[in-house]
Amino acid sequence: MLKQMCWLSLGATNEEKVLHLRTHPNQPWQPYTAFPEYAIPDYQLPGGSKGWATYQKLRYEGWSLAPSHQWQQSSVERSRKSA
């Protein structure tokens, strides 16, 4: 099983980044909340990153972090094609 994480915006704009996960190379990135088996509740901190607690847990479990800039561009291109 592939264990990858990436910080991506939810929309085509460069808004706040949210943790995304994928477990197979051909699988699209999905927000961490789509994986209840891996996600844990967010910290209740004003302005805290969505998925930071899950990121810490998964890093400890050996998940790798993929570069956001590489995948964010792909997401924007897919959004434009589907519009």
Q: What is the mean pLDDT of the chain?
A: 85
Using a pLDDT cut of 70, give the percent of the chain over it: 78
The kind and range of the H/E element at 31 are strand 30-31
Tell the burial category of 21 from Cβ atoms under 10 Å away from its Cβ (0-12, 13-18, 19+): buried
pLDDT 10s digits, 7-27: 998 776 667 899 999 999 999
Higher-pLDDT residue of 69 and 28 is 28
Q: What is the tally of structural domains in the chain?
A: 1
The kind and range of the H/E element at 60 are helix 52-60
Give the pLDDT of residue 77. Answer: 43
Domain span at 73:
4-82
Q: Distance between CA 43 and CA 81 in Å, rounded?
A: 35
Give the pLDDT of residue 47. Answer: 83
Confidence of residue 68 (pLDDT cuts 50, 70, 90): confident
Give the pLDDT of residue 74. Answer: 52
